[in-house]
Structure 1
């Protein structure tokens, strides 16, 4: 009798727009792809009432008993900052909030936990176009500069700290406003839900990293129904001239939403790519 292939059990942390989409995909398409939904956990347990009780994980300390192989975080950076090391001791982890890695201590702890447990810390590319090319250039030492510009309607930003009043002023003015331009690292804790694509760029280009990647955040009321991501790459000059590449991605989005519609499918593709690559950090 032929042995049936074992399904890969996937747990979801977070049940917002992305979490709900991934849960739906796992329940409808997962079985035919060798995937099954192990559990869903959220910081707001009341949001899970529509799910069967056996799929609701009340306490992350129960995770080892679920038989989960891959945990997908689409909640908030604080979740992996608090629980990421423990998760990597039992399963692979797809980090939907790579802005968490802007904190140097968190990045060191998660990398060490992945190596120690033999599990993979996956970073999804999200809306980052040209991810593999950026990674190859960085690895070869030919990447000189990388700038990621994110343009959204003011209502799509979730700003904190000193950036919050600047965003409020932009809303009041009703005009296109550059909210921030500078190194990526200090921007991440100010808009952790908005700049995960930029964080993916820092992971793709570790020689530049969070301090070397330039981030530009633009609030523009003239684009209420899309998110625009522009990636500008400059190579190390050769013979006095340098390769430059610029790409612009317009992602349809509902007004006021943090995540564009195409990004949901990008995340699902990333989940399918998380098949276990050992104790390392890997873009997916």
Structure 2
């Protein structure tokens, strides 16, 4: 499967390295869409890809699927057009807190018969959550995220501080680069306004720690994920990058585990 990639940041480079250096179920990145070709022209020789700055030319290249690895703004501007022509793996899931955009993308996916894949990102357990809510009987979903203080606030602190407490919808509005986890949880269960979020700035940790608590007719579940940073970029979760690679690997699988 030939993959087109939007963006050339940390996650994009991780995917280029993994799919360029290792045989991964016939997966190959051969086209990359960027805003500034000169800035990233070294990628063409390094990974044997072609850079594009025009969306139409990018979509007309030899690609079967597009991976968005850019920003919420890129999702808003580009993905509606892309979904008309190609399936999409969406990384900037926070964009879907905009419900008109979510509805538009869902309708386009149905109309043009193109899948919209949402990787689990920096957490796990979404299969459990979706299964537990198969009858709509999950009652509570809450997320407590602890991150190194310097990644969230400018001032120095000596003790952990709660810097946000509210809904998933408000969390992504206030912290658009930090709360994709809350949006994928909300989409998998009880919605943006019922999913509760607590964000803690902690000066004593060097990992991102997510605790998810679920209560419903099925019983209760709690899971905790402690994420190491991506070696190439400390601001990016290693698991978030690997979740995209895992999603791509599973797309062509005939043996489906979980779900």
Q: Which TM-score applies when normalising by structure 2?
A: 0.89
Paired with 2:18 and 2:32, the residues of 1 have a C-alpha distance of: 13
Paired with 2:150 and 2:38, the residues of 1 have a C-alpha distance of: 26
Q: Which residue of 2 aligns with 1:68?
A: 63
CA-based RMSD: 2.4
Q: Which residue of 2 aligns with 1:10?
A: 3
Q: Is the 8 Å Cα contact of residues 226 and 253 (structure 1) preserved in structure 2?
A: yes
Does the alignment pair 1:262 with 2:254?
no
Paired with 2:162 and 2:99, the residues of 1 have a C-alpha distance of: 27
Match of 2:109 among 114, 130, 146: 114
Paired with 1:191 and 1:273, the residues of 2 have a C-alpha distance of: 30
Paired with 1:203 and 1:274, the residues of 2 have a C-alpha distance of: 20
Q: Which residue of 1 aligns with 2:34?
A: 42
Does the alignment pair 1:144 with 2:139?
yes
Shift in Å at residue 275 of structure 1? 4.0
Shift in Å at residue 254 of structure 1? 6.5
Q: How does 1:208-223 map to 2 (within 5 A)?
A: 208-223=190-205
Give 5+ residue unaligned stretches, structure 2.
none
Does the alignment pair 1:82 with 2:77?
yes
Paired with 2:28 and 2:82, the residues of 1 have a C-alpha distance of: 18
Q: Is the 8 Å Cα contact of residues 129 and 231 (structure 1) preserved in structure 2?
A: no
Paired with 1:108 and 1:187, the residues of 2 have a C-alpha distance of: 20
Shift in Å at residue 154 of structure 1? 2.2
Paired with 1:254 and 1:71, the residues of 2 have a C-alpha distance of: 22
Paired with 1:10 and 1:254, the residues of 2 have a C-alpha distance of: 22
Query: Deviation per CA, 1:19-75, whole angstroms, max 9, x where unpaired?
Result: 100111221225x52222121123443441212275111221223311321111111
Shift in Å at residue 191 of structure 1? 1.7
Q: Which residue of 2 aligns with 1:5?
A: none
Give 5+ residue unaligned stretches, structure 1.
1-7, 158-166, 237-241, 277-282
Q: Which TM-score applies when normalising by structure 1?
A: 0.82
- Aligned pair count reads 252
Paired with 1:275 and 1:88, the residues of 2 have a C-alpha distance of: 19
* Cα pair distance change 1:105/1:65, threshold 3 Å: same
Paired with 1:254 and 1:118, the residues of 2 have a C-alpha distance of: 34
Does the alignment pair 1:271 with 2:248?
yes
Q: Which residue of 1 aligns with 2:219?
A: 243
Higher relative contact order (CA 8 A, sep 6+): 1
SS at match of 1:33: coil
